[in-house]
């Protein structure tokens, strides 16, 4: 976390991009926005420029490139020329350069490739974004990955090291993905890790059945949802968290939650328990070697 306070980033994935939400965010001291070229049906950048051009300079803004409109709806590409044009287009549509440009879910274009081909493609895509930062099209660049297990199939050591690695975070993320994220960020040495989607996009009912408040140090008077949000900054440890809301009242609750302190020992105990459960279930299902022969034949070509 580099000693700095963790930051709340207002994510616009499911947002209606209403101006009043952006003014509410600024009033609450939330000064980071995260969007992506495909959000709002590929209109997010234009909508922000149309409705909030005067507000945008007050935010630090991250956006993502990698998805493109296609005849069938949306397609993913790591083609260097398309990525460069997408970064230039983002700056044009927004009416100014975004602070950060992230490669959007690169694992989508890597599936099925050989490790060498995947690594070469990812390396070229990273170089496009690093060059964009060098050319002043953004201040920093990074990689947003929804599935670090898939991305981790490519050896990233020696590829351009991103300023930001943005990954899924929170109590709804499985231990295998958390482990894959930790391996990836150690290998890639990103300057900062940002979390995203701490509620998995919604799933409010989960918190009726599960109370995450023991993860916070008392005293506090936060709700279960607030505790889930605050705890997400430690699963994995993240300097910033992109969370979505269209409700200024919910944003107030999220900002309040930032003041709480997470009980690191409780989080460590939780992770140990998850690892223990996984070990238990894998040894319970362990079969004789003869039954396992060929078990990896259907696995990814990165294995
Ligand atoms: N790279 C990727 O593929 C990717 C994928 C997903 C997300 N992201 C990033 O992460 C951001 C957040 O992800 P997300 O919006 O999908 O998921 P999320 O933040 O986990 O969940 C958003 C949902 O949580 C609800 N919520 C927020 N605060 C609440 C509160 N205080 N009380 C009750 N409900 C609350 C919101 O409903 P209300 O509107 O009613 O508050 C919304 O339905 C995105 O905007 C984007 O920046 C990136």
| Interval 126-135 mean pLDDT | 98
Average pLDDT of the chain to the nearest whole number:
91
Whether residue 301 has pLDDT greater than 90: no
Residue 1 lies in a domain: no
Question: Is 184 domain-assigned?
Answer: yes
Rounded distance from Cα 46 to ligand 1 centre (Å): 21
pLDDT, mean of residues 152-176:
96
Bridge partner residues of 76 (DSSP): 67
| Predicted confidence (pLDDT) at residue 287 exceeds the cutoff of 90 | no
Please tell me whether the peptide bond between 219 and the residue prior to it is cis, using omega within 30 degrees of 0.
yes
Q: Is 193 a pocket residue for ligand 1 (Cβ < 6 Å)? A: no
For the Cβ of 201 lying below 6 angstroms from any atom of ligand 1, the answer is: yes
Q: What are the pLDDT digits (tens) for 109-120?
A: 999 999 999 999
Identify whether 288 is part of a domain: no
Q: Is there an atom of ligand 1 within 6 Å of 173 CB?
A: no
Atom 9, ligand 1: residue with shortest CA distance: 196
From the CA of 12, how far away is ligand 1's center (Å)? 8
Q: How confident is the model at residue 297 (pLDDT cuts 50, 70, 90)?
A: very low
Q: Flag whether 239 is in a domain.
A: yes
DSSP string for 196-208: E-TTTT--TTHHH
Q: Is the shortest distance between the CB of 146 and ligand 1 below 6 Å?
A: yes
- The answer, yes or no, to whether any atom of ligand 1 lies below 6 A from the CB of 34, is yes
Of 266, 225, 259, the C-alpha closest to 243 is: 225
Please report, for the domain that includes residue 119, its CATH number.
Answer: 3.20.20.100
Cα 226 to averaged position of ligand 1 atoms, centre (Å) = 13
For residue 44, is it within any domain?
yes
Extract the tokens encoding 26: 């600024």
178 domain residue, yes or no = yes
Average pLDDT over residues 118-135: 98
Please tell me if the CB atom of residue 242 comes closer than 6 angstroms to any atom of ligand 1. yes
Can you tell me the distance from the alpha carbon of 180 to that of 300, in angstroms, rounded to the nearest whole number? 15
State percent of the chain over pLDDT 70.
Answer: 92
Pocket flag, ligand 1, residue 246 (CB < 6 Å): yes
pLDDT score, position 64: 98
Indicate the pTM of the whole model: 0.92
Residue range of the domain that includes 142: 7-283
Number of domains in the chain: 1
Q: Is the CB of 13 under 6 A from ligand 1?
A: yes
Cβ–ligand 1 distance for 24 under 6 Å, the answer no
Instruction: Give the pairing of strands 140-145 and 164-168.
Output: parallel
Q: Is residue 37 part of a domain?
A: yes
Could you tell me whether strands 67-70 and 140-145 are parallel, antiparallel, or unpaired per DSSP bridges? unpaired
Residue 198 Cα to ligand 1 midpoint, Å, equals 7
Reported confidence tier of residue 202, pLDDT bands at 50, 70, 90: confident
pLDDT, one tens digit per residue, over 18-73 is: 999 999 999 999 999 999 999 999 999 999 999 999 999 999 999 999 999 999 89
Q: Is 174 in the pocket of ligand 1 (CB under 6 A)?
A: no
- What pLDDT score does 152 carry? 93
Strands 140-145 and 100-104, sheet pairing: parallel
Is 95:134 a contact under the CB 8 Å cutoff? no
Give the position, in ligand 1's atom list, of the atom nearest the Cα of 196.
10
Q: How far is Cα 76 from Cα 38, in angstroms, rounded to an integer?
A: 10
> Do residues 103 and 140 lie in contact, with contact meaning Cβ atoms separated by under 8 Å?
no
> How high is the pLDDT of residue 282?
73
d(CA 289, CA 147): 30
**Ligand 1 test: best mutation among 13, 74, 173, most atoms within 8 Å of CB?**
13
Better-scored residue on pLDDT, 302 or 296: 296
What pLDDT score does 286 carry? 55
Closest-CA residue, ligand 1 atom 47, reads 11
Q: Using one digit for the tens of pLDDT, what is the confidence trace for 225-279?
A: 999 999 999 999 999 999 999 999 999 999 999 999 999 999 999 999 999 988 8
pLDDT of 303 over the 80 cut: no
Does the residue 295 lie in any domain?
no
Can you give the pLDDT at residue 235? 98
| Residue 195 CB-half CA count within 13 A | 33
């Amino acid at each position: 976390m580099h000693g700095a306070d963790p930051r709340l980033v207002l994510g616009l994935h499911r947002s209606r991009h209403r101006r009043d939400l952006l003014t509410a965010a600024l009033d609450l001291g939330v000064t980071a926005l995260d969007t992506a070229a495909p959000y709002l049906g590929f209109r997010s950048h234009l909508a922000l420029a149309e409705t909030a051009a005067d507000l945008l300079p007050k935010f630090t803004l991250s956006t993502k490139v990698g998805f493109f409109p296609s005849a069938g709806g949306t397609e993913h590409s790591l083609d260097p020329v398309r990525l460069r044009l997408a970064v230039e287009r983002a700056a044009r549509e927004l009416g100014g350069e975004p602070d950060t440009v992230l490669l959007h879910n690169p694992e989508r274009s890597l599936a099925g490739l050989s490790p060498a081909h995947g690594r070469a493609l990812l390396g070229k895509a990273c170089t496009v974004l690093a060059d964009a930062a060098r050319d002043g099209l953004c201040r920093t660049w990074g990689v947003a990955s929804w599935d670090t297990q898939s991305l981790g199939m490519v050896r990233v050591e020696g590829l351009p090291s991103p300023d930001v690695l943005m990954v899924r975070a929170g109590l709804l993320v499985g231990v295998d993905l958390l482990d894959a994220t930790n391996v990836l960020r150690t290998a890639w040495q990103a300057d900062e890790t940002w979390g995203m989607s701490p509620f998995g996009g919604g799933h409010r009912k989960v918190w009726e059945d599960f109370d995450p408040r023991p993860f916070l140090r008392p005293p506090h008077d936060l709700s279960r949802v607030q505790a889930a949000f605050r705890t997400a900054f430690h699963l994995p440890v993240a300097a910033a968290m992109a969370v979505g809301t269209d409700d200024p009242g919910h944003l107030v609750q999220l900002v309040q939650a930032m003041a709480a302190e997470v009980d690191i020992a409780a989080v460590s105990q939780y992770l140990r328990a998850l690892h223990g459960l996984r070990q238990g279930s894998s040894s319970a299902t362990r079969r004789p070697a003869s039954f396992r022969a060929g078990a990896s034949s259907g696995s990814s070509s990165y294995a």
